[in-house]
Amino acid sequence: MMEIDTLLKVIEQADTYKRYGKVLRIVGLMIESLGPAANIGEVCIIHPESNLQKPILAEVVGFHNEKIILMPYTEVTEIGPGCLVESTRKPLMIKVGRSLIGSTIDALGNNLDKSSLPKGLKNYITEQTPPNPMMRPTIDEPIQVGVRAIDSLLTVGKGQRIGIFAGSGVGKSTLLGMIARNSAADVNVIALIGERGREVREFIEKDLGEEGLKKSIVVVATSDQPALMRIKGAYTATAISEYFRDLGLHVNLMMDSVTRVAMAQREIGLAIGEPPTTKGYTPSVFATLPKLLERTGTNEHGTITAFYTVLVDGDDMNEPIADAVRGILDGHFILERRLAEMGQFPAINVLKSVSRVMNQIVDEEHLHTARRIRSLMAIYEENSELIQIGAYKHGTNKQIDEAISFYPTIQAFLRQGILEKELFQQSIDKMHQLLTGGGS
């Protein structure tokens, strides 16, 4: 009886009408149509005049007078004035489930190798609201990242959101690969947004490797795809992370890069008539970033520990997107070109990097040792010019002498091979041994 009642309710609520409109014009990224009745965020299907062409999916992004502004998910071909526009009355939904682990998918949730998706997946809306702040448990437990410099001196907590800031070619993707392989998280969700097509297989096969792929889902939206696909890639990856978090799992979300998401949003904003403001970025960019980044973190079921890479123009750490992202996240790691050129990998500048929750999640001894090492590094950095040109005389200052003696040991500790795996406790033990063993 209950089943019949449920079916009757579904039949009553079913919308049996199909709503159509027609294409009026296409300008750049924008398709303008007269009708159908649709809301912002709904997906529409544009039917080409030729039956041989596949229908094109597009999303309602705005209105002008009584006309609808659509953005296509794919390249627009064989579309002309008068083509039929059909409303689906639904937002973008993807299929997600445990059997998706190990797959590489596009921004719409389809397998990138054109194979069919596994069975038993559930429909899931890509645009979710961030958890209620009062329902977020506090971060009180460290998570193993598997990178010695991070686990010891910049400890990350379960559910923390970190920005990895760097210029191009300084090792962001390599660092993400190391974290994906070595982390203690249950599932990795990796979003490659705006990447070169060549780099996708390179990242999967070299940086991530077979071991990393076994517990990962890779979402890809390459730089040649329309702006909406690049944005949806970020939303899809975040939605998949949220699905696994709600199952009670500890998820790592790695997005490379949030800067390209902002650039895609700028393209859309300019196309629908928004005014360019800070360095050409439209107001919607700075409204979208917190909505996207706040979705990760902790909730009452599980955690999403998120790593967002930020591509900084000309190594300027204060450019608008870097500044906005740094203000939203719970810490930042600065990768420096100078360190990469010296052969130090990962090229993390520990002194300029911060983990905002480290003080709450590590014990007093760990914190004391980390502060001591940072202090030695800061003293050496402050006097590095005098030391390097030979102007400093040994014995003049006890603190500088100590910093010089420990410098080679600290540098060796911070270096880590790409395939070198380090457990959390091993990193902490080596950090304590570094000080107790004395400088060289």
Residue that has been written with the tokens 């700028």 in this structure: 266
Assess whether 311 and 168 both reside in one domain: yes
Question: Rounded mean pLDDT of 232-249?
Answer: 96
Residue 440: pLDDT above 60?
no
pLDDT tier at 79 (50, 70, 90 boundaries)?
Answer: confident
Q: How far apart are CA 105 and CA 236, in angstroms?
A: 10
Does one domain contain both 237 and 137?
yes
Q: Which of 91, 110, 140 is the last residue of a domain?
A: 91
pLDDT (average), residues 130-137: 92
Domain boundary among 361, 384, 405: 361
pLDDT score for 150: 96
Residue 6 lies in a domain: no
CATH number of the CATH domain containing 370: 1.20.1270.330
For residue 218, is pLDDT > 90?
yes
CATH of the domain at 215: 3.40.50.12240
* Residue 189 and residue 98 in contact, taking contact as beta carbons nearer than 8 Å: no
> Within this chain, do residues 76 and 204 fall inside the same structural domain, yes or no?
no
CATH number at residue 52: 2.40.30.20
Highest mean pLDDT among 74-88, 113-127, 236-250: 236-250
Q: How far apart, in Å, do the first and last CA atoms of the chain sit?
A: 80
**3-state SS string over the chain?**
CHHHHHHHHHHHHCCCCCCEEEEEEEECCEEEEECCCCCCCEEEEEECCCCCCCCEEEEEEEEECCEEEEEECCCCCCCCCCCEEEEEEEECEEEECHHHCCCEEECCCCECCCCCCCCCCEEEECCCCCCCHHHCCCCCCECCCCCHHHHHHCCCECCCEEEEEECCCCCHHHHHHHHHHHCCCCEEEEEEEEECHHHHHHHHHHHHHHHHHCCEEEEEEECCCCHHHHHHHHHHHHHHHHHHHHCCCEEEEEEECHHHHHHHHHHHHHHCCCCCCHHHCCHHHHHHHHHHHCCCEECCCCEEEEEEEEECHHHCCCCHHHHHHHHHCCEEEEECHHHHHCCCCCCECHHHCEECCHHHHCCHHHHHHHHHHHHHHHHHHHCHHHHHCCCCCCCCCHHHHHHHHHHHHHHHHHCCCCCCCCCHHHHHHHHHHHHHCCCC
| 4 falls within a domain | no
Average pLDDT, the chain: 90
Q: Rounded distance, CA 166 to CA 352, Å?
A: 12
Question: Rounded CA gap, 130 and 297, in Å?
Answer: 9
* pLDDT value for 76: 81
Q: Does residue 5 sit within a domain? A: no
Q: Specify the pLDDT at position 139.
A: 94
Task: Say if residue 377 is in the same domain as residue 254.
Answer: no
pTM for the model: 0.90
Q: What's the whole-number mean pLDDT along residues 15-24? A: 81
Q: How far apart are CA 294 and CA 140, in angstroms?
A: 18
> Looking at 51-60, 99-108, 218-227, 401-410, which range is the least confident one?
51-60
In a domain, 204, yes or no: yes
Do residues 80 and 168 both lie within one domain? Answer: no
**Residues 301, 326 within the same domain:** yes
The reply to whether 10 falls in a domain is: no
The predicted pLDDT at position 368 comes to 95
What is the per-residue pLDDT for 295? 95
Contact by Cβ (8 Å): 48, 78: yes
**pLDDT over 70, % of the chain:** 97
Residue 243 and residue 164 share a domain: yes
Instruction: Specify if 107 maps to a domain.
Output: yes
- CA 417, 422, 426, 427 dihedral sign is positive
Q: Is residue 133 part of a domain?
A: yes
Pair 332, 286 in one domain: yes
The single-letter code of the amino acid at 105 is I
Q: Does 255 share its domain with 330?
A: yes
Would you say residue 11 has pLDDT above 80?
no
Rounded to 5°, the CA angle 267-273-279 comes to 55
Q: Is the pLDDT of residue 234 over 80?
A: yes
Q: Does the pLDDT value for residue 385 go beyond 80? A: yes
The reported pLDDT for the residue numbered 15 is 65
Number of C-beta neighbours around residue 432 at 10 A: 14
Q: How confident is the model at residue 439 (pLDDT cuts 50, 70, 90)?
A: low
pLDDT at 6 over 80: no
For the segment 317-356, what is each residue's pLDDT rounded down to a tens digit? 778 999 999 999 999 999 998 898 888 889 999 999 999 9
Distance CA 229, CA 269 (A): 14
Residue 83 lies in a domain: yes
Residue 135 belongs to domain spanning: 97-361
Confidence of residue 314 (pLDDT cuts 50, 70, 90): low
Is the pLDDT confidence value at 216 over 70? Answer: yes
- What is the band of 298 on the pLDDT scale with cuts at 50, 70, 90? very high
The last residue of a domain, from among 42, 60, 91: 91
Q: Please give the tally of structural domains in the chain.
A: 3
Contact assessment for residue 280 and residue 269, using Cβ atoms and an 8 Å cutoff: no
Measured distance CA(295)–CA(298) in Å, rounded:
9
| pLDDT of res. 222 | 93
**279 shares a domain with 336:** yes
The one-letter amino acid code at 226 reads: P
Q: Would you say residue 101 has pLDDT above 80?
A: yes
Statement: residue 410 has pLDDT above 60: yes
Q: How far apart are CA 183 and CA 421, in angstroms?
A: 9
- CA–CA distance, 147 with 353 (Å, rounded to integer): 14
Of 273 and 193, which is predicted with more confidence? 193
Between CA 128 and CA 242 the distance in angstroms is 9
Radius of gyration of the chain (CA): 25
Phi, psi (deg, nearest 5) at residue 202: -60, -45
Residues 120 and 67 in one domain: no
- Give the model's pLDDT for residue 315: 63
Q: Are 259 and 315 in the same domain?
A: yes
